[in-house]
Amino acid sequence: QKEVEQDPGPLSVPEGAIVSLNCTYSNSAFQYFMWYRQYSRKGPELLMYTYSSGNKEDGRFTAQVDKSSKYISLFIRDSQPSDSATYLCAMRLEGAQKLVFGQGTRLTINP
């Protein structure tokens, strides 16, 4: 079983829809949680970064962490075709730089 599980999709939604992306993890010691966006043939770009349970909002993006359930989510409101990319969840332990990634979810927003 992988430490971080993420549905690879693909996920296809119409423009303007609310998108929900999720990851579950098995190691309760993970302290820092990130969402990266990766366009084709590019490096991952940091979108959201949280280190406590609860919600964090940045523009159209909301990251949610539930440490008791070992579950994190990313919500995208008013989705745009430019949001079409692969979304990767990542997490790490306190005191370590090693990021453990989910498999990534390929998202397509249809105009």
Partner 1 sequence: KAGVTQTPRYLIKTRGQQVTLSCSPISGHRSVSWYQQTPGQGLQFLFEYFSETQRNKGNFPGRFSGRQFSNSRSEMNVSTLELGDSALYLCASSSQGWGPDTQYFGPGTRLTVL
Q: Which of 15, 45, 57, 58 binds partner 1 (CB under 8 A)?
A: 45
Task: Return the residue of 11, 13, 17, 100 that touches partner 1, per CB under 8 A.
Answer: 100
Buried b (16+ CB within 10 A) or exposed e, 62-73: bbbbeeeebebb
| Residue in the structure block whose two tokens are 């745009």 | 80
Closest CA to 25 of 47, 55, 57, 1: 1
Note whether 97 and 9 are within 8 A (CB). no
36 binds partner 1 (CB under 8 A): yes
Under the criterion CB under 8 A, does residue 63 sit at the interface with partner 1? Answer: no
Stretch that binds partner 1, among 21-29, 64-72, 74-82, 94-102 (CB under 8 A): 94-102
Exactly one of 61, 103, 106, 108 binds partner 1 (CB under 8 A); which one? Answer: 103
Does the footprint of partner 1 cover residue 25 (CB under 8 A)? no
